[in-house]
Amino acid sequence: MADLLKDLDFFNLDELLSQEERMARDTVKQFVEREVIPDIERHFANETFPSALIPRMAELGIFGANLHGYGCAGMNNVAYGLIMQELEAADSGLRSFASVQSALAMYAIYAWGSEAQKNRYLPEMAKGRILGCFGLTEPDHGSDPGGMETRARRDGKGWIINGTKRWITNGTIADIAVVWARVDEGITGFIVEKGTSGFSTHDIHGKFSMRASVTSELILEDVRVGPEAHLPEARGLKAPLSCLTQARYGIAWGALGAARTCYNCALDYVKSRKQFSRPLAGYQLVQSKLVRMLTEITKGQLVCLQLGRLKDANRMRPEHVSFAKRNNVNEALGIARMARDMLGANGIVNEYPVIRHMLNLETVNTYEGTYDVQTLILGRDITGENAFD
């Protein structure tokens, strides 16, 4: 099979990257090629997460790569995005693992934690020795986290937390859970350590998507935590939503990686597969699909590059991220479906990575704010009318 990880760079965007950015991308690409690809289909088939990769990912500086200090690599946001792209070129579940560790759990502590919390958790999380998850979604509150029912009430100097969080990536393998809960003053966050009495987790099975990723439920029954567990700066829904902005940023880049693998695979396949005595690549309908894929990936790359430059200049708004997440994931899903079709019957077997990416991207289109939720965020921005009210 051809090199399915190879770059797609129709507009010579490589020229717009710094040497450090290219190096970050190429290092992770090499890691993915050598250490992820050989085993990823097996993990997806067996519904297992490739945890043996965690120390290597830490060594490469992937966890909290764009955070500064506290043992983090301090890369710029374009380099971080390129890394997410390469991880998701292998599997959305692997990128998800890195996103949750970095952009959700670590970022929550980085942005809303005390100095003591940052010093205690972030260096160990960067080394992959402490794993985190992020509990926002509940069984009855997904798109509307503001309706959450998890409650924390004061208990002397500490707190008692009750509630259920569902669909939580890394839940059962995490050493700490960042849990969002309602208190008298509004919404705030807590760091709940594994093993705390009353805190239990279990995995959700039967997934047809994200099978190489752990997805769990967190149950909190009279979980008593001390004052040191509370994220002191997290006041209001803005705190968890700010973490989503970080994660959506990585997803916008990541989806392009999955789309690129599907494009490379479809292109390779139609060049060699003959029907009616000619390669499929010679037919106009097939070429039209390839051109559509190339166009959408290239447009997505341009959006991401400028998004990253804006983020590095502190000029990125959450709505910019919604635009990129909504568009890139939806186009990646369309590309994966097209590639699946172009492979005919071979498109449904795991000899090729396309069906796996297609199934994964169904989740990516839903989590971190569905396609329609991102549409309404953008609709609110351009009209001034809030459809969520």
Active site residues: 368
CB of 102 to ligand FAD, least distance (A): 12
Among 158, 166, 159, 162, smallest CA distance to 149 is for 162
Residue 85, contacted partner among ligand TGC, ligand FAD, none, CB below 5-8 A by kind: none
Is 100 a residue that touches ligand FAD (CB under 6 A)? yes
Is 329 a residue that touches ligand FAD (CB under 6 A)? no
For residue 139, how many C-alpha atoms fall within 13 Å in the half-sphere facing its CB?
6
Residue 210, contacted partner among ligand FAD, ligand TGC, none, CB below 5-8 A by kind: ligand FAD
State the residues that interact with ligand TGC by CB under 6 A. Answer: 96, 99-100, 134, 136-137, 143-146, 169, 236-238, 241-242, 244-245, 247, 318, 367-369, 373, 377, 388
Residue 117, contacted partner among ligand FAD, ligand TGC, none, CB below 5-8 A by kind: none
Number of residues that bind ligand FAD (CB under 6 A): 20
Among 271, 291, 294, 266, smallest CA distance to 281 is for 271
CB of 82 to ligand FAD, least distance (A): 23
CB of 271 to ligand TGC, least distance (A): 34
Residue 11, contacted partner among ligand TGC, ligand FAD, none, CB below 5-8 A by kind: none
CB of 107 to ligand TGC, least distance (A): 11
Q: Which of 92, 102, 117, 169 forms a contact with ligand FAD (CB under 6 A)?
A: 169
Distance between CA atoms of 247 and 253, rounded to whole angstroms? 10
Stretch that binds ligand FAD, among 15-23, 34-42, 162-170, 220-228 (CB under 6 A): 162-170
Distance between CA atoms of 230 and 241, rounded to whole angstroms? 17
Among 250, 219, 108, 229, smallest CA distance to 158 is for 229
Residue 216, contacted partner among ligand FAD, ligand TGC, none, CB below 5-8 A by kind: none
Q: Which of 215, 245, 264, 301 forms a contact with ligand FAD (CB under 6 A)?
A: 215
Is 48 a residue that touches ligand FAD (CB under 6 A)? no
Q: Which of 84, 130, 131, 168 forms a contact with ligand FAD (CB under 6 A)?
A: 168
CA angle 211, 368, 96 (to 5 degrees): 40
Give, as ranges, the residues between 370 and 389 that touch ligand FAD (CB under 6 A). Answer: 370, 372-373, 388
For residue 111, how many C-alpha atoms fall within 13 Å in the half-sphere facing its CB?
23
Distance between CA atoms of 98 and 57, rounded to whole angstroms? 9
**222 class by beta-carbon count within 10 Å (0-12 exposed, 13-18 middle, 19+ buried):** exposed
CB of 228 to ligand TGC, least distance (A): 24
Q: Which of 123, 142, 146, 198 forms a contact with ligand FAD (CB under 6 A)?
A: 142
Return the number of the residue (182 or 292) whose C-beta is nearest ligand TGC.
Answer: 182
Is 258 a residue that touches ligand FAD (CB under 6 A)? no
CB of 49 to ligand FAD, least distance (A): 12
Residue 215, contacted partner among ligand FAD, ligand TGC, none, CB below 5-8 A by kind: ligand FAD
Binding site residues, ligand FAD, CB under 6 A: 100, 134-137, 142-143, 167-169, 210, 215, 363, 366-368, 370, 372-373, 388
